[in-house]
Structure 1
Amino acid sequence: MYRGYGNPEDDWASLGVNTLLKRDPIFNKLYNWSYDDGTCLGAVYNIYQLKKQSKMLEYCKSNFDRYLDSQGNIHDYVAEDLALDDICNGKSLLDLYHETKDLKYKKAADKLYEQLKMQPRTEEGTFWHKKRYPSQVWLDGLYMGSVFYAKYQKMFNLDDRYDDVVHQFLSAYKVTLDDESGLCYHAYDEARQQPWVNKETGHSPHFWTRAIGWFVMAMADVLEYLPEDIEGRKQIIDNLDHLLKALKDYSDPQTHLWYQVTDEIDRPMNYIEQSGSSMILAAMAKGVRMGYLNASDYEDFIEKGWVNSLEQFITITNEGYVNTNRTCQVGGLGGPNKRDGSYAYYMSEPVISNDHKGYGAFLYLAYEMEQRKVNN
């Protein structure tokens, strides 16, 4: 990386969090209940657990307290929308309840758990991504909803729905998998009715790197909360391993990072994208740390990818703030803008700096690299 910024052995996790504390004391100025908050502040909480700096915990707490009243009612949350995106922040609510035992966090998490009980499903039993996206399974949804689904059950000693959590992961993998490449498509439409759908397979047209990044991070995360002996847990591990090995084959050979459209490296306008690359490397590193993956299959790849991710994506301002760059702002299918999932669509979305989803992905990866120092 550029020598003026430091080196890969620096404590990038703390540098990144301290940047947020100074630059974004109010994390979400739009004051909307957004999964960006849970993604990024969840990473801040992980780093707090490692560094034990109370200012990090207070940052998470103060930014979520803005949304909650004493009864756990959540500003800007509409349960009737039945959107998995709205569940993502629930993981942080559980963390805050664990730390403070303040019942408002549990009451708010209870509301999100109740939504999952009402969430519409495909005929195979997989959650729809949102009520307004009927019959559709999106890879993002596993990170947004199903990790919380398991984490809530473990925290409150429930065991009646673990099988359903496993089913969400195995069925989503099954319906999005491309057997030839080993990659998973961005989304699947069971009804074969969406304008973007392949009528034969139900798949969306392309592999989108951040969608796959959400999915592999979700698999690496959910395993912490599932009982060791539950049927299907080993299959989730195998699926994670197979998908990550396929991703290694489709990475940029020079940097060990990934392009916006995963499998079309040589196509004009495609670019190495920050958020998805950081997510995939973070999932690899966590999988190795937790013993889910064979270290010899991934160690060298992770180390090279980490160094190159700093070089490709990180800049430092005159104030010493850490910037993340080359992040796709958003990616989706259908909706009011009639996003068609074409290559042209994925190239059309803005590429920005310091997107909170991308920043969270960077922090998760930096956290894993700090963990490697502790464990070594």
Structure 2
Amino acid sequence: MTGKNWDHANSIILHGMEKIYVQTGDESYLKYIQSFVDDYVSTAGEVSGLKEELDGIHPGVLCLFLYQETGEERYRVAAQRMRDYLIGLIDAPSVFNKTPDGGYWHKNNDHYEQVMTVDGAYMANPFLVKYGRMFGDSRSIDVAVFQTLLIASHTFDISTHLPYHGWDYTKHHSWSHPITGTSTEVWSRSVGWFSMALVDMLEYLPDTHPDYARMMHLYQELVQGIVATQTDEGMWYQMMLKPNLVGNYLESSGTGMMLYALQKGKQSGWLANDCDWTIDRAWEALQGYIRVYSDGMPLITSFNPGMGIKDNAEEYVKVRPVDCPSERDHQHAHGYCAILMAASVMEF
């Protein structure tokens, strides 16, 4: 695990383990997840380490999972506290800043002032939709759908069927387009986050919801862009639309996330069978990025470490791929998350 505590950097790995547990029933996964969560959730359901950023909301999915598996009330209370922390109550408004049109800033700091990211859709919205479905809270569902469609309206390029990494309401950030406010590039892992957000939301979004058809259409449009940019090797580039860019590289975390979203859509009946070849090639290629570390455990290779929005494509590829675990670098969770999520839908 990483040293980021109650944050997506840890919960994305554990959420991947959750997916494997559901498929295998191996109690060791459940116990490992529960051990982590119990370090931050008290017996009364109080959550320590909450942050004013969407990345800190993602661990809420683990609380929902543990409540389903154990029935322990503290996990339900913890999930409710996180829901209320993000959305707010009449007597306790949300501490999260919003753009004038209602979108959550990715983080409450100057670097993300008036900025939404497509990554943020994954960090909060599947949690809200699942929470709403489990506990009959239509407000949570509506907020999640609104936030998802809002960021799509600002970042989704209908010509490529892919979203730009982020959007700046002020158009003043160094990376933002002076007219549209969008960032300049389509980054593989941000597309991965967004694709996983859509399928995980659609899993729990009632088909009677007034925006269900829009959400499904958005997912199917995104799939077109994903399929069109797959490489001959079966992977996706760090910069998906610039395969010939000097320094560009095949990136395993975005590939694993997009593969998860494609296969889950296929299994759910949301995609035509003509995606089979794309899925099969991606899974075959991705397995080549799983090797054996010196301790005999899995080593995940060639994935981009954590980073924010960059000014241009050259800055994105300047951040070189890493392995996990690493003997000389910080440990980055994204590689493990993507492999676990992909394996959960491909191996069972």
Both structures adopt the same fold (TM-score exceeding 0.5): yes
* Of 270, 273, 288, the match for 2:266: 288
> What's the CA shift for 1:75?
3.2
> Residue 149 of structure 1 aligns with which residue?
128
Please give the secondary structure, in 2, of the residue aligned with 1:173.
Answer: helix
Alignment: residue pair count: 332
Please give the secondary structure, in 1, of the residue aligned with 2:116.
Answer: strand
Cα deviation digits, residues 259-312 of structure 1 (max 9, x gap): 111111111100000100110011000011111222x1211110111001112x
> Residue 51 of structure 1 aligns with which residue?
24
* Of 76, 79, 82, the match for 1:109: 79
**Structure-2 separation of matches of 1:166 and 1:236:** 8
Higher mean displacement: 233-242 or 141-150:
233-242
What is the TM-score with the length of structure 1 in the denominator?
Answer: 0.84
> Residue 285 of structure 2 aligns with which residue?
308
Identical-pair percentage: 29
Q: Does 1:184 align with 2:160?
A: no
> Residue 8 of structure 1 aligns with which residue?
none
Letter aligned with residue 28 of structure 2: K
**Structure-2 separation of matches of 1:184 and 1:96:** 33
Q: Does 1:173 align with 2:152?
A: yes
Cα deviation digits, residues 183-220 of structure 1 (max 9, x gap): 11000111212121111111111111100100000000
- Within-5 A mapping of 1:57-206: 57-78=30-51, 81=52, 83-117=53-87, 118=94, 119-132=96-109, 133-206=112-185
Please give the secondary structure, in 2, of the residue aligned with 1:180.
Answer: coil
Q: CA contact under 8 A between 2:230 and 2:278: conserved in structure 1? A: no
Q: 1:208 to 1:31 in 2, by over 3 A?
A: closer
> What's the CA shift for 1:370?
2.0
* Of 297, 309, 313, the match for 1:321: 297
* Of 185, 191, 206, the match for 1:212: 191
Q: 1:168 to 1:31 in 2, by over 3 A?
A: closer
Structure 1 runs of 4+ off > 3 angstroms? 317-320
Higher mean displacement: 122-131 or 274-283:
122-131
Q: CA contact under 8 A between 1:327 and 1:352: conserved in structure 2? A: yes
Higher mean displacement: 97-106 or 229-238:
97-106
> Residue 10 of structure 1 aligns with which residue?
none
Q: CA contact under 8 A between 2:7 and 2:57: conserved in structure 1? A: no
> Residue 236 of structure 2 aligns with which residue?
258
Cα deviation digits, residues 144-163 of structure 1 (max 9, x gap): 01111111111112223423
Letter aligned with residue 97 of structure 2: P
Please give the secondary structure, in 1, of the residue aligned with 2:106.
Answer: coil
Please give the secondary structure, in 2, of the residue aligned with 1:261.
Answer: coil
Q: CA contact under 8 A between 2:4 and 2:10: conserved in structure 1? A: no
Please give the secondary structure, in 1, of the residue aligned with 2:347.
Answer: helix
Q: CA contact under 8 A between 1:96 and 1:105: conserved in structure 2? A: yes
Please give the secondary structure, in 1, of the residue aligned with 2:138.
Answer: coil
Q: CA contact under 8 A between 1:248 and 1:256: conserved in structure 2? A: no
> Residue 3 of structure 1 aligns with which residue?
none
Q: CA contact under 8 A between 1:188 and 1:203: conserved in structure 2? A: yes
Letter aligned with residue 326 of structure 1: S
> What's the CA shift for 1:91?
0.4
> What's the CA shift for 1:72?
2.6
* Of 262, 272, 277, the match for 2:255: 277
Please give the secondary structure, in 1, of the residue aligned with 2:167.
Answer: strand
Letter aligned with residue 127 of structure 1: Y
**Structure-2 separation of matches of 1:90 and 1:214:** 16
Q: 1:166 to 1:269 in 2, by over 3 A?
A: same
> What's the CA shift for 1:318?
5.6
> What's the CA shift for 1:350?
4.2
What is the TM-score with the length of structure 2 in the denominator?
Answer: 0.91
Letter aligned with residue 219 of structure 2: L
Q: CA contact under 8 A between 2:133 and 2:141: conserved in structure 1? A: no
> Residue 242 of structure 1 aligns with which residue?
221
**Structure-2 separation of matches of 1:192 and 1:297:** 39
**Structure-2 separation of matches of 1:171 and 1:263:** 23
State the Cα RMSD in Å. 1.6
Q: 1:318 to 1:289 in 2, by over 3 A?
A: same
